[in-house]
């Protein structure tokens, strides 16, 4: 039996990266659950930000941002970066998070996050009180310790242990057990027409 619960803006699960705007000299960061990859040619990330966000001002000035995936044990730091505003406080000083330079853009990455994506802004669209920012992924940094093969680009997801966000019940979780192999598990339904 299903119930209609109205037009709630929830989908499960959501990621919860720290998005950085600005430069090594002046940066701010916030937690963004409304973000995902949306294309691969060119590799593109889309995120929705409230128009009033300080980090958005810095993203507009520099035309770039970084997406930094935190480990599950960084939940309290990430939560703070969503609660506080960089207009009044230095979130890096408050949390101990540190910045290191990116390779291709002026906006830095967060050293403590094991996976970091450098993006150049490609477009910005108003969606009600929000701004949909599209960014082209230009480079990715990964801790050696989270790479499945030291020469490859595939992440060992248990080593990364990424923070997940659950909307509505407002909780952070880690990922759990592996249930199936993608591009493989579905083959049992295939027949000659597929």
User: What is the sign of the dihedral through the CA atoms of 101, 104, 107 and 112?
Assistant: negative
Segment contacting a copy of itself by CB under 8 A, of 18-26, 45-53, 58-66:
45-53
Among 30, 47, 58, 110, binds a copy of itself (CB under 8 A): 47
Residue 13 as a binder of a copy of itself (CB under 8 A): the answer is yes
Q: In what order do the strands lie in the sheet with 64-69?
A: 27-31, 18-22, 64-69, 115-127
Strand partners, 100: 109
Contact with a copy of itself (CB under 8 A): which of 54, 57, 112, 132? 132
The DSSP element (H or E) to which 159 belongs, if any, is helix 157-160
Per CB under 8 A, the segment of 20-28, 56-64, 178-186 that binds a copy of itself is: 178-186
Residues 20-39 interacting with a copy of itself (rule: CB under 8 A): 33-39
Between residue 51 and residue 80, which ones bind a copy of itself under the rule CB under 8 A? 67, 69, 72-73, 75-80
Closest alpha carbon to 31 in 173, 158, 169, 164:
164
Task: Tell me whether residue 21 or residue 70 sits nearer to a copy of itself (CB atom).
Answer: 70
Q: How far apart are CA 116 and CA 106, in angstroms?
A: 14
CB-nearer residue toward a copy of itself: 25 or 190:
190
**Dist. CA 172–CA 58, nearest whole Å:** 27
What distance in Å separates the CA atoms of residue 76 and residue 82, rounded to the nearest whole number?
Answer: 10
By CB under 8 A, the residues from 87 to 106 that bind a copy of itself are 88-89, 94-95, 103
- Does position 112 interact with a copy of itself (CB under 8 A)? The reply is no
> Min. distance of Cβ 105 from a copy of itself in angstroms?
12
């Amino acid at each position: 039996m299903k119930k209609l619960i109205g037009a709630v803006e929830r989908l499960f699960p959501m990621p919860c990266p720290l998005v950085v705007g600005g430069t090594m000299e002046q940066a701010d960061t916030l937690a963004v659950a409304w973000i995902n990859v949306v294309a691969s040619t060119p590799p593109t990330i889309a995120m929705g930000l409230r128009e009033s966000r300080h980090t958005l001002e810095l993203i507009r000035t520099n035309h770039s941002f970084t997406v930094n995936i935190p480990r599950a044990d960084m939940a309290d730091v990430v939560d703070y970066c969503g609660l506080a505003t960089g207009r009044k406080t230095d979130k890096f000083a408050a949390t101990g998070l540190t910045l290191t330079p990116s390779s291709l853009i002026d906006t830095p990455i967060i050293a403590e996050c094991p996976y970091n994506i450098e993006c150049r802004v490609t477009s910005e669209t108003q969606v009600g009180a929000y701004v949909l920012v599209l960014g082209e992924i230009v480079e990715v940094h990964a801790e050696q310790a989270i790479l499945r093969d030291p020469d490859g680009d595939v992440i060992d997801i248990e080593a990364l242990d990424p923070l997940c966000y659950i909307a509505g019940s407002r909780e952070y979780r880690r990922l759990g057990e592996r249930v199936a192999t993608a591009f493989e598990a579905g083959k049992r339904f295939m027949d000659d027409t597929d």
